[in-house]
Structure formats: C-alpha cells, structure tokens
Amino acid sequence: MGKVFHVDHQIDKKNVEDSVTEWTKVVEYSDINSEKRLFGGKLMSWIDEVARTVAIRHSGNPVITAAVDNMQFKQGAKLDDIIVIIGKITYVGRTSMEIRVDTYVEDRRNGMRHVLNRAYLTEVCIDDDDTPAIVPYGLNIRTANERAEWEGAEKRIILRKKRRMEGF
C-alpha cells in the first residue's frame, strides 16, 4: 500500500454514502460446516472485510479492527444461499471509526432479504509504523437515521470503556 496520508487534525468531512460497501456471495461448499450451514467464522471474516473496506474508503488509510459489538446470528444460511453484506460508517472519532455491517440472506425467487446478522465494528486508522493515526475526514451527519447511529455509537463507546475497566 502507498504512503499513509498524515495529518494532525481532520481536514474535511465526508458523507455516509461516500463509503457504503455492498458485497454479495453465494454460499459454496468451502463455506459450510458439518451441519451443512454457513460456518459462523467464515461470515465473521466476510463482515470484517466489509467493515475494513468501508473504513479504508472513508479514511484513505490502512486500518485494523479493534472491536466487534453485537455479533448476533438471527438465522442460518445454507449451501447456495445468496448472502448480501452491507457496511456503512456510523461514527468517526479521532483515530477510530465505527462501521455498521448488516448481513442478509437473499431469496433467489423474489429478491427479498432476510436479516442474518448485524454487527458494529471499530476500525482504527494506522500509520506506516502500525500506530494509531488521526482519521483525516470527519463525518457529515445529514439525516435523523445518521444522527441516531452516531448517538448509538457514542453509547457503545461508553459501554466498551466500562467493559474494559471491568476486565472484559
């Protein structure tokens, strides 16, 4: 990867839609477990990739995953199911960004999407020495939904700090 874009403060703001990422995959034999269902670890890897892509698109810099919140599986997926994963940025801090990733199973017959998972990931912007770097772009909050996501992120940050202090 090229040289990291170094700044000592945020220089501009981007919109949520500037970095939205949608990824689609058909579940293959290599993705299933012994119960012939999508292996949860495989899905977690895909979710992490989508979150990373969103964060890189927003920041223009390399990132690492620092935390994953709310990894709940609402239903399973099977061989040949269509998986749709959509990531969008919800919060930008000094060196970190929160990304919401929604995963769906898409019905091949009618295109209806059913929720498989929702997760929030914290991605940290890093420099060439793998130390946290300032995220060069803030985030424009333009809708009520974007405001609600931002406020939810602030609550999750507080909860993560509390869990860390409690040893979790």
pLDDT confidence of residue 1: 44
- Domains of the chain as residue ranges with CATH: 12-166 (3.10.129.10)
What pTM was computed for the model? 0.90
Count each helix (H run) and each strand (E run) in the chain, helices first.
2, 7
Nearest of 43, 168, 161 to residue 93 by alpha carbon: 161
Helices (H), 39-122: 40-59
Task: Give all strands of the β-sheet with 113-125 in edge-to-edge order.
Answer: 21-26, 82-92, 96-106, 113-125, 63-73
Which tokens sit at 163? 């869990």
Q: What is the pLDDT of residues 30-88, one digit of tens each?
A: 999 999 999 999 999 999 999 999 999 999 999 999 999 878 889 999 999 999 999 99
